[in-house]
Structure 1
Amino acid sequence: MELIANGTFARRAFLVGTAAAGILALPGCQALGGFSMTEAIKRLLTLSSRNAFAKLTAPGGFWDSEVARFDLPVLFTGGGAVQTLLSSGPFRQGLQKQLNLVAEKGAERAAPVVYDAVKKLSVTDAVGLIKGGPTAATSFLRAEMGPALINAMIPGLSDALSVTGDPIVRQAMAALAGVDVGQVAQAVALRADNSVWYQIGAEESAIRANPSSTNDPLLIGVLKVL
């Protein structure tokens, strides 16, 4: 890569990597040189989440993703009139696709919440996360945030479902007796929540597998040691 070939960048990556090799060999040590290992985790999560949301908020983001596409929410599998509609394969697939498209609006609301959480993140065992599995940092962030992502997405999903002109979605919601738009939005948010974290985890895994793609000397130095 051009940036890696640059002398200054290459030397910085080498020096950070050399320091990281020694630091990671020392249990409990959380810093190398002027960098903290927590900063490395934050950079890893920032890049992973930005890459994930760039894909999920693009047209067809959830639907086109192998890891983020989700099935119908449980709300639509409880029997009644909606089950008659879903007995049609084309209707079922059409509804699934449309709800995946609606989820993009939820992801737009979720993105800044995740970015803010990463900035404020407190990590007690950053070295452990660096040494962890391919999605260790994502799993840690998800546990720290709890249901925050779901709560952030519901308003955007409610708005999108309220104004949708798609006949399949409107027909399916009308067949849900006693269920309002807010409940449907929550059901979609529960599915989309998993999808968002799956996508962030996939991006983290990709960065760990090829840290040079980040052009970040700290991440390259720390992750290549592993």
Structure 2
Amino acid sequence: MKKRLLSCSLLLVLFSGLFTGCETAQQIMNNLPAATSGGLSSAQIVAGLKEALTIGTQNSTNRLSAVNGFFANAALKILMPPEAQKVESTLRSVGLGSVVDKAIQSMNRGAEEAAKSAAPIFVNAIKSMSITDAVGILKGGDFAATNYFKQKTTSALTTAFRPAIESALKKVDATKYWADVFTVYNKFSKTPVNTDLTGYVTDKAVAGIFQEVSLEEQKIRKDPAARVTDLLKTVFGNKQGTTVGQ
């Protein structure tokens, strides 16, 4: 039990971004506030970690599922796939840039709509996190939590996103715009382009979610404001900010 408690405490320390190393972690254990005569349980400590991860993933999905969550984010905005860049250039050169712009906006709107389904998938992965998973994250480096989510949620996210994106693309006429783009382009090309728009947007949307999750992971590690919750205050206590981190 003592080893499990120490492992869980080290894990929470990793994600708080305040402390590193076994000796410092032991200091943290010595300074944990006593919730009962037996002190904090491993379950309470792991709950603190899970709360931090839940908040981080919810922040990520909330940002991306908002209007312009993808479209106004220069790092994540979904553009035409590489194989269609010649198409885009040709259409813009003949005065059809507005058609391309509508197609691009619609792809991003589809991704934003699909992102609404991500939070429950992340929550399920967090709830199922075991002590073994926790130790693996502890040893995994700066983006260990993000990598854990990639392993545990990529399939579920893809499955959930694809129909949501397909529906969203149809709702905003993205498939129509896509068809318009390639119908026109194919009139000028001897090699017609046939791209799976839904699959392309789905892959980009999933990648965008993980990019945002990685940013939240770094906040949890480095920004004190990102880890201030009631449960984390209970786990760490006020004394650690002044005595343990020195």
Report deviation, 1:46.
Answer: 0.7
> Are the counterparts in 2 of residues 53 and 107 from structure 1 also a CA contact under 8 Å?
yes
Distance in 2 separating the partners of 1:101 and 1:63: 7
Equivalent in the alignment of 1:85: 91
Q: Report the CA distance shift for 1:178/1:95 in structure 2 as closer, same or farther (over 3 A).
A: closer
> Are the counterparts in 2 of residues 138 and 204 from structure 1 also a CA contact under 8 Å?
yes
SS in structure 1 at match of 2:132: coil
Residue of 128, 144, 153 corresponding to 1:136: 144
Is residue 46 from structure 1 mapped to residue 65 from structure 2 by the alignment? no
Matches within 5 A, 1:37-186: 38-74=46-82, 76=84, 84-85=90-91, 90-91=97-98, 92=100, 94-127=102-135, 129-130=137-138, 133-165=141-173, 168-172=177-181, 174=183, 183-186=196-199
The structure with more radius of gyration = 2
SS in structure 1 at match of 2:70: helix
TM-score computed with the length of structure 2 as normaliser: 0.64
Q: Tell me whether 170-179 or 141-150 shows the greater mean CA deviation.
A: 170-179
TM-score computed with the length of structure 1 as normaliser: 0.68
SS in structure 1 at match of 2:79: coil
Q: Report the CA distance shift for 1:98/1:211 in structure 2 as closer, same or farther (over 3 A).
A: same
Count of residues paired in the alignment: 201
Task: Name the aligned partner's letter for residue 171 of structure 1.
Answer: D
Matches within 5 A, 1:173-212: 174=183, 183-212=196-225
Q: CA RMSD in A?
A: 3.9
Where structure 2 has 5 or more consecutive residues not aligned to the other structure, the ranges are 1-17, 30-38, 187-191
Distance in 1 separating the partners of 2:166 and 2:82: 17
Equivalent in the alignment of 2:41: 34
Report deviation, 1:198.
Answer: 0.1
Query: Once the two structures are superposed, what CA deviation does each residue of 1:60-116 show, in whole Å capped at 9, x if it has no partner?
Result: 001223443233335645x7x677336679455553333122211111122322222
Q: Report the CA distance shift for 1:208/1:121 in structure 2 as closer, same or farther (over 3 A).
A: same
Distance in 2 separating the partners of 1:114 and 1:146: 10
Residue of 21, 24, 30 corresponding to 2:25: 21
Where structure 1 has 5 or more consecutive residues not aligned to the other structure, the ranges are 1-16, 26-31
Distance in 2 separating the partners of 1:74 and 1:116: 34
